[in-house]
Amino acid sequence: MDNRAPEREHHRTRLSDAELAELLPPSVSAGAAASGSAAPDQADNLRTPEILAPAGDMQAALAAFAAGADAVYLGLKHFSARMQAENFSTGELAALTDLAHSEGRRIYVAMNSMLKPGDPGAAGRLVARLARDVRPDALIVQDLGMLDIARQAGFAGELHLSTLANVTHPAALTVARDLGASRVILPRELNIDEIRACGNACPDDLDLEFFVHGALCYCVSGRCYWSSYMGGKSGLRGRCVQPCRRVYRQKGREGRFFSCLDLSLDVLAKTLLSVPHMASWKIEGRKKGPHYVYYAVSAYRLLRDNPDDPKARKQAEDILEMALGRPGTHSRFLPQRGDDPTAPGEQTSSGLLAGKVGQTPEGGIFFKPRFQLLPQDLLRIGYEDESWHTTLPVARHIPKAGTFNLRLPRHKTPKLGTPVFLIDRREPELTREVRSWQAKLERHRRGGGEGGAVDFTPSYPAPGKPARPLDVILRGSLPHGREGKAGVRPGTVMGLWLSPKALREVSRTLYPRISWWLPPVIWPDEEAQWLRMVREATRDGARHFVLNAPWQVGLFGDGHARRDLVLTAGPFCNTSNPAALAVLRKLGFAAAIVSPELPGEDILALPRQSCLPLGVVLSGYWPMGVTRHHLEGLKPGEPFNSPKNEVFWARRYGQNTWIYPGWPLDIEDRRGQLEAAGYTLFVRIDEHPPLTVPEPRRTSPFNWDIPLL
């Protein structure tokens, strides 16, 4: 296929072989990676990774197979983290799975949505139908409860932990394996050294997967509440409205400071060939069309199968230029040359610039394409956050420099000079290939329609005994004076973020009386430090810890080492249903603080179903998100504003930047309801905004009063 449209400017610098060899650390030099060389004890864990393609609809799935994808991941109409995609019915999926298996390919079903208290039964029934009628090769999940629900529902395939599950450091991998995970999808923020560290620490019966191409989120997966906090559309439930893509401003500067380019490892992907347990190269894009899927899969097949061939490399890079994604970046993949994935002064929308809007003397609007347009091409007018943004199909062939008249509603009339992008196309060659696979698919259609409903009721441990009510005030450091020496008022516990500074400044006599909080993300190069801090704290008397990822139990040794400790699952664990609580109890947690983004009715319903004592965040500054990326173009500690003039601010903690709204969460007036429902642990986050941030004019109940979509 030849789609020789002009190349657009690429933000990623193409690397020569000599530059690549110089940049990579010796342990992952280009030559070693390409040849697949490894230490003898790692050789058995090396494999040729599959090319894993996205499919938001049937045409994209067939395009992936036509391009040679080894596996396809896709979602159903429910419980998927890409609910804006068209997604599949179980009948469609059954035929596609039969086709895939007949061709030696695999199907992975994404059920990577956070489950609310009433969801486990419906999710389990859907899994039971998949097990009976479809038999996909794997489920992709983020919610802890899905690990147990899937097995209860009779699913015998693999269970893959999504990046949304936030398995971010080596010790977490063994915990994931012990809970029944078959594969962990690593976060995109890792560099090649950190990926290798995870591969070296990976248990023998666990696989790893890594994204090599596609859209990047500014915040860490599973640690972004931006869309949810601004109106109940949760990224953890596939409803993100991407507020990070909008224009923000700070002291006269404005830009898309949080809008990321696309990850595009291209030739660097070959360094993953020597990472132990690396079973899959994943391409992001379940909202993209068959054109993107076909070209991205074709390129990475070339790069995987011909790692040392310069011609294959050049061909693959040219193919990626034609995939109609966003401009590309290597992001953090190279430790010595990590790129910031944003371009604040530029647009980062997908598509190939096709022209700009002009006006006729009579007032009509049009554009002249820079290359020919084909029937069924899809165009985007402007950018997603502009009032005139819209998409238009192309009905007939338009030659290069021909005239394409734009017939749009008056309220969608764009300004002169607005760019027009080609965002999807149906070349005749691709259309023919997809049709040939469509014909194969028809032979696998099953008569009689979809199977009937199934009975399934999840089983949980019985609710536990109520605990004594306790308040926790979470602070960044120990206060001075009487409160610092003696703690806080009766019935209240001091919470501190665990850090070297806190361990130095706090008297050891206070260690047993403090609730020590671990962060929401721990990166591989930080793990040794956290192991030391945990051991020092427990040695000197610390007993109560709040873990903000369930996998952090791997830092505390085995069950015997944890027997005298009280571990609580923190609010960043996104605990939201009784199935997840049952898994937390299995891990040794004594209590859990529920996800603050749940609606009030779900928060109040959960204690009746819980096998653990529950806590809730009552008030304080809850972050919109946590990111490993630096603020490009913005100053931390200074307020910045959204297009609606909402105030935000950011603060750096270690390797991560926390982004906050200018107004705190506050459900203090619901405390009576919460106590009556059975809550016994009440958290107040004592986080103070910078002095430059204006005093808040309001507070937020988060999603208490609205549905969580």
How many domains, the chain? 4
Question: pLDDT tens across 562-581, in order?
Answer: 889 999 999 999 999 999 99
**In this structure, which amino acid lies at residue 463?**
P
Q: What pLDDT score was predicted for residue 6?
A: 34
Express as a percent the part of the chain with pLDDT over 70: 91
Assess whether 278 and 182 both reside in one domain: yes
Assess whether 109 and 61 both reside in one domain: yes
Cα torsion 212, 423, 84, 447: sign: negative
Q: What is the dihedral of CA 286, 289, 294, 297, to 10 degrees?
A: -20
Full 3-state SS string of 21-64? HHHCCHHHCHHHHHHCCCCHHHHCCCCCCEEEEEECCHHHHHHH
| 390: in domain | yes
For residue 9, pLDDT over 70 is answered with no
| 440: in domain | no
**Which band of pLDDT confidence, cut at 50, 70 and 90, is reported for residue 14?**
low
Provide φ and ψ at 534, rounded to 5°: -60, -45
Q: What is the pTM of this model?
A: 0.92
Q: Which of 172-181, 488-497, 518-527, 665-674 has the lowest mean pLDDT?
A: 488-497
Average pLDDT of the residues in 394-407? 95
Whether 81 and 142 have beta carbons less than 8 Å apart is answered as: yes
| 309: in domain | yes
Range of the domain at 363: 352-430
Please tell me which residue, 530 or 31, carries the higher pLDDT value.
530
Q: What pLDDT score was predicted for residue 558?
A: 84
For residue 696, pLDDT over 70 is answered with yes
pLDDT mean across residues, the chain:
90
Q: Rounded to whole angstroms, how far apart are CA atoms 140 and 701?
A: 31
CA distances 419 to 11, 349, 374, 482, Å, are: 19, 11, 19, 63
Question: pLDDT tens across 457-478, in order?
Answer: 999 998 877 778 899 999 987 7
For residue 210, pLDDT over 60 is answered with yes
Q: Distance between alpha carbon 66 and the CA centroid of its chain, in Å?
A: 27
Question: pLDDT tens across 409-442, in order?
Answer: 888 899 999 999 999 998 889 999 999 999 999 9
Q: What pLDDT score was predicted for residue 463?
A: 86
Whether 511 and 536 have beta carbons less than 8 Å apart is answered as: no
Smallest CA-to-CA distance from 61 within 237, 288, 320 is with 288
| 657: in domain | yes
Question: pLDDT tens across 612-631, in order?
Answer: 999 999 999 999 999 999 89
For residue 13, pLDDT over 70 is answered with no
Domain boundary among 430, 449, 481: 430
Please tell me which residue, 86 or 325, carries the higher pLDDT value.
325
Question: pLDDT tens across 18-61, in order?
Answer: 655 555 544 433 333 333 344 556 667 888 999 999 999 999 99
- Could you identify the residue written with the tokens 């023998």? 204
Q: What pLDDT score was predicted for residue 35?
A: 35
**Which band of pLDDT confidence, cut at 50, 70 and 90, is reported for residue 1?**
very low
Q: What pLDDT score was predicted for residue 535?
A: 96
Q: What is the dihedral of CA 79, 80, 81, 83, to 10 degrees?
A: -100
Q: What pLDDT score was predicted for residue 464?
A: 75
Assess whether 643 and 655 both reside in one domain: yes
Assess whether 184 and 140 both reside in one domain: yes
Question: pLDDT tens across 356-368, in order?
Answer: 999 999 889 999 9
| 539: in domain | yes
Q: Rounded to whole angstroms, how far apart are CA atoms 127 and 148?
A: 11
| 129: in domain | yes
| 636: in domain | yes
Alpha-helical (H) ranges within 575-645 are 578-587, 600-605
**Which band of pLDDT confidence, cut at 50, 70 and 90, is reported for residue 4?**
very low
What's the angle, vertex CA 287, arms to CA 283 and CA 288, rounded to 5? 65
Smallest CA-to-CA distance from 556 within 573, 542, 574, 572 is with 542
